[in-house]
Homo-oligomer: A and B are copies of this chain.
Amino acid sequence: MAPSRTVDERTKALVAPVSAAVQSACADPKQDAANERSQASFNPEELAVLMQGGQSKADLNKRAVELLQELPFGDKTRRYMLTRPEEYVGGLEAGVAIWNMRNAGKISHGEAMAMRRQLNWPGGLELHLGMFIPSILAHGTDEQQAYWMPKCERLEVIGTYAQTELGHGTFLRGLETVAVFDPDTDEFVVHSPTLTATKWWPGGLGKTATHVILMARLVSRGRDYGVHSFVMQIRDLPTHRPLPGVTVGDIGPKLGYQGVDNGYLSFDHVRIPRSALLSRWSKLDAAGNYTPPPPANAKASYATMVFVRADIVKNAGDFLSRAVTIATRYAAVRRQTAPAAGARELQVLDYDNVSQTLLPLVARAYALSFMGRELFGMYSRYVRDRERGVFGDLPELHALSSGLKAACTEQTANGIETCRRTCGGHGYSQLSGLPNLFAYYVQNVTWEGENSVMYLQAARFLIKAALAVRGGKLPEELAPSARFLGARGDAVSGVRGARGWADPAAQVEGLAHVARHLTLQALRVLLAANGGQPAFEGAAWNGSSVDLIRAARAFCMLELHRTFVAAVEECAAQGLSAATADALRALEANGDLLESGFITQEQAAALRDAKRQLVREVRPDAVAYTDGFGYDDYLLNSALGRKDGDVYRALLDMAQASPLNDSEEGPAWDAVLKAQLGSTKAKL
C-alpha cells in the first residue's frame, strides 16, 4: 500500500469531474450477480440439497466449513502461494490433525470426511486411507487385519501402495520387483533387479510412509507365481530413516498435487517375514508350497474396480460442476467490449459463443453427476446379485464402467480447460482456482486405466454383442445397454425442424444410430484386418483401435444421455430444462450422425438451430444452475467464482499474500537490482 499523503484541493477539484464520469459508467459486478439471480426461473436451494445428496449431507458440508474456519490449517488465504515443502507439510499436518480429532471423538467420522473434502488439500495421507487400509481389508487374513488395523487407525503407521515402477504402469505382469522365498529363514528377500524396477509414483511414499503394500513377483522354489501383495516396513519408526537396503525419496514436482510426496523406492536384498504376504486368498507355507486364490476371487476384484470407476465418474461431475460454477458466475459479471460506441460493455455470458460453450457444460456437469449415481446403483445391484451367486451382469457392468470412466474423465478434463479459457486473462491467475482444478483433475484420464485402454474394454463388449446379433441373437437376449445394436431403428431420421430435436426420444435415437453405425464400421475394419475373422488382441485389434475407440465413445455418449434423460424425468420438478441443451451438444459434437446417413444436411442445420434456441432459453437460469450445485465459496477458493460477484476486490485482496509482496522492494532488489539501478539519481 502506498503511504497516505495529502492531495491538495486544487488537484482534487481538477480530477473530480473526470473521475465521476468514469465511476458513473463503471459496472458493478455485485449488482450484475444479483440481477442474474433475480431473473432465475427456479429456486436453486432445493436443487443444491439434492445435488449434495440430501439435507443431512448438505448440513454436514456446512458444518465442516464452520469447523475448518476455526482451525489454523483451515485458512485458505495462502493456499496458492505455498512452496512445495510448505504445501507438503501443511497438507500432512491438516490430514493428521483431522484424523486425530476423529480418533479423540471430537468430531464424527462423517464430519472428518466432510472436512477433508471441503479443505481439499491432498497430502501424504491419501493412500494410507484410500489404498493401504483397503488392501489389508481385502487381501489380509483375519489375523493380519487384527494386527494391522488398530495401528492404521491410530496412525501409528502410515502406509501407501507401491505398484507402478519406473518402467511399468498398469501392466501388472510386467512388474520387475521380486520377493524370493527363503525357506531356510522363513523370509522373503525383496529385491529390485533393474533400474526400471524402481517403484515410482505412489503418493505419500517419498517422505511420509513408514509401510507399503508392495506389489512384487512371488518366487518360491524356483517358480515365479506372479505379482502378489506384501505389507512391508520401509522406514525405521523412531528415526523415520529408511531401513537398511531400502532407497526411498520424492520424485519431484508434478502437474498438481504439490502437497503429495509421490515417491520412488528400490530394494537391495531386503528380508521380510513370510507373514508379510497378504494371505487371505493366496498362501505360501513354510516349505514354500504355494496355494493360489480361489477362482471366484477374480470376480470380487472386478467388483472393487467397478466401485472405483463409479466413484471416478461421480467425481467427474463434481469437478466439472466446480469449473462451470466459477466460469459461469464470472462470465455473468465480467463485462467486455461495448457493442457500439457509447453503449455499455456486454456481460461476457451474453456473447453467443460463450453461452453456447458454457451452458451445455453446465448441463454436462449435471449429466455426469447423475451418471455417477446410476453406476453406484448398478454396482449395488451387482453386489446384491453376487451374494445370491448371480454373476450375469458382470461383462456389461465392466464394459459400462470402463467406457464411462474414459468418456466422463475426458469430458471433464477438457471441459475444465474450456471453462478456464472462457475466463480470458483472469483465468490464468491461480487465484481463479481454475488452473489448479485442471492440474488436480486431469490425471483421471490416465490413472485407474488409461482412457484408450478403457474405451477398448467397452469396444470389446460392443463387438461381441454385434457378432451375437449377426449370429441371430434377438435384442432381448442381449445385455440391456447393448440392445440398441439389435434394434432395427429407422434408417433415416424423421425429425423435422429445430423443435423436433428438442424431443429426448429423438436425441436418444440419434445417438443410438451413431453408436450402432460406428460399431458396425469398427467391426468391418476389424474383420478386414483379420481375414474376415474376429480378433480381440494382436495386430488386427491394435490396427482397428482408432475405429473401436470411436465406437466406444459414441456408445458412452448414448449411455450418458439416456441416463440423463431418465434422471431429469425423475426430478423434473427441480426445473432441469438444460437437459435438452446437453443432448444437442452431444449430438452436434458428432459429425458422425451425418456420416451414418441418418440425417440430412437440412436436419443437421435444424439441429444447430435447436441448440442455439435452447441455450438462449436457459440463459436466464445460468447462474441459478451453478447455485444448484451447492458449493460454498470456501470450497471453491476462487476469486472469480465468488457467489457475490465481487471478483475484482477478491483478486486484489488475494494477491496481497503473494510472497513477492513480502517487501516493497521485492526479493531481487538486494541480489540483482540494487547494483544495476540503485546508483542512479532518484528521479528522471
Q: How far is the CA of A167 from the CA of B417 in the complex (A)?
A: 22
Q: Mark A189-201, 1 if CB is under 8 A from B, else 0.
A: 1010111111011
Closest 7 CB pairs of A and B: A591-B591, A207-B666, A19-B193, A250-B660, A255-B435, A253-B430, A252-B658
Docked complex: A67-121 residues within 8 A CB-CB of B? 80-81, 83-85, 88-89, 92-93, 96, 100
Interface of A is mostly: mixed
Q: How far is the CA of A88 from the CA of B660 in the complex (A)?
A: 9
Contacting residue for A196 out of B26, B356, B543, CB 8 A: B26
Chain B contacts of A1 at CB under 8 A? 247
Q: Can you list 24 residue pairs at the A/B interface with Cβ under 8 Å?
A: A5-B244, A11-B271, A19-B191, A22-B176, A26-B194, A85-B659, A88-B660, A124-B668, A195-B652, A198-B652, A237-B678, A238-B679, A249-B661, A251-B431, A252-B430, A253-B429, A253-B430, A253-B431, A254-B428, A254-B430, A339-B538, A354-B452, A425-B446, A428-B443
Contacting residue for A206 out of B197, B430, B666, CB 8 A: B666
Is A586 an interface residue, CB under 8 A from the partner?
A: no
Is A130 an interface residue, CB under 8 A from the partner?
A: no
Q: A158-B677, A208-B668, A666-B250 are in contact. Are A660 and B428 (CB under 8 A)?
A: no
Is A151 an interface residue, CB under 8 A from the partner?
A: yes
Is A569 an interface residue, CB under 8 A from the partner?
A: no
Is A180 an interface residue, CB under 8 A from the partner?
A: yes
Stretch at the interface among A52-60, A372-380, A481-489, A592-600: A592-600
- A666: nearest residue on chain B (CB-CB)? B207
The residue in A549, A604, A654, A664 that gathers the most chain B C-beta atoms within 10 A of its C-beta is: A664
Q: Mark A421-435, 1 if CB is under 8 A from B, else 0.
A: 100110111110001
Contacting residue for A597 out of B196, B601, B672, CB 8 A: B601
- Are A252 and B207 in contact, with the CB atoms below 8 A? no
Q: How far is the CA of A347 from the CA of B604 in the complex (A)?
A: 41
Contacting residue for A546 out of B254, B353, B549, CB 8 A: B353
- A681: nearest residue on chain B (CB-CB)? B237
Chain B contacts of A391 at CB under 8 A? none
Q: A450-B424, A591-B592, A648-B195 are in contact. Are A233 and B666 (CB under 8 A)?
A: no
- A194: nearest residue on chain B (CB-CB)? B26
Chain B contacts of A544 at CB under 8 A? 352
- A151: nearest residue on chain B (CB-CB)? B684
The residue in A85, A591, A658 that gathers the most chain B C-beta atoms within 10 A of its C-beta is: A658
Is A582 an interface residue, CB under 8 A from the partner?
A: no
CB distance from A73 to the nearest CB of B (A): 11
Chain B contacts of A84 at CB under 8 A? 81, 83, 658-660
Q: How far is the CA of A166 from the CA of B333 in the complex (A)?
A: 13
- Are B428 and A255 in contact, with the CB atoms below 8 A? yes
Q: Mark A261-297, 1 if CB is under 8 A from B, else 0.
A: 1001000110100000000000000000000000000
Is A239 an interface residue, CB under 8 A from the partner?
A: yes
CB distance from A615 to the nearest CB of B (A): 9
Docked complex: A216-267 residues within 8 A CB-CB of B? 217, 219, 222, 224, 233, 236-247, 249-256, 261, 264
- Are A680 and B207 in contact, with the CB atoms below 8 A? no
Docked complex: A378-392 residues within 8 A CB-CB of B? none
Is A530 an interface residue, CB under 8 A from the partner?
A: no
Q: A252-B80, A660-B206, A667-B89 are in contact. Are A238 and B178 (CB under 8 A)?
A: no
Q: How far is the CA of A180 from the CA of B210 in the complex (A)?
A: 67
Is A27 an interface residue, CB under 8 A from the partner?
A: yes
- Are A683 and B233 in contact, with the CB atoms below 8 A? yes
Contacting residue for A254 out of B219, B429, B538, CB 8 A: B429
Chain B contacts of A269 at CB under 8 A? 7, 11-12, 15
Is A173 an interface residue, CB under 8 A from the partner?
A: yes
- Are A683 and B236 in contact, with the CB atoms below 8 A? yes
Is A651 an interface residue, CB under 8 A from the partner?
A: yes
Q: A546-B353, A601-B597 are in contact. Are A425 and B169 (CB under 8 A)?
A: yes
Docked complex: A334-380 residues within 8 A CB-CB of B? 335-341, 345, 350-354, 356
Is A475 an interface residue, CB under 8 A from the partner?
A: no
Is A590 an interface residue, CB under 8 A from the partner?
A: yes
Is A521 an interface residue, CB under 8 A from the partner?
A: yes
- A550: nearest residue on chain B (CB-CB)? B608
Is A157 an interface residue, CB under 8 A from the partner?
A: yes
Chain B contacts of A666 at CB under 8 A? 88, 206-208, 240, 250, 261
Docked complex: A7-39 residues within 8 A CB-CB of B? 7, 10-12, 14-15, 17-23, 26-27
Q: How far is the CA of A164 from the CA of B648 in the complex (A)?
A: 13
- A97: nearest residue on chain B (CB-CB)? B672
- Are A547 and B677 in contact, with the CB atoms below 8 A? no
Q: How far is the CA of A178 from the CA of B20 in the complex (A)?
A: 11
Is A131 an interface residue, CB under 8 A from the partner?
A: no
Is A155 an interface residue, CB under 8 A from the partner?
A: yes
Is A63 an interface residue, CB under 8 A from the partner?
A: no
CB distance from A268 to the nearest CB of B (A): 6
Chain B contacts of A96 at CB under 8 A? 672-673, 676
- Are B178 and A22 in contact, with the CB atoms below 8 A? yes
Q: How far is the CA of A14 from the CA of B181 in the complex (A)?
A: 9
Q: How far is the CA of A81 from the CA of B446 in the complex (A)?
A: 24
- Additional 6 contacts, C-beta under 8 A, given A27-B167, A250-B655, A354-B452: A85-B667, A88-B660, A238-B680, A255-B430, A424-B450, A547-B608
- Are A429 and B251 in contact, with the CB atoms below 8 A? yes
Q: How far is the CA of A197 from the CA of B7 in the complex (A)?
A: 19
CB distance from A209 to the nearest CB of B (A): 10
Q: Mark A171-187, 1 if CB is under 8 A from B, else 0.
A: 10110101010101000
- Are B92 and A208 in contact, with the CB atoms below 8 A? no
Chain B contacts of A155 at CB under 8 A? 676-677
Q: How far is the CA of A652 from the CA of B335 in the complex (A)?
A: 48
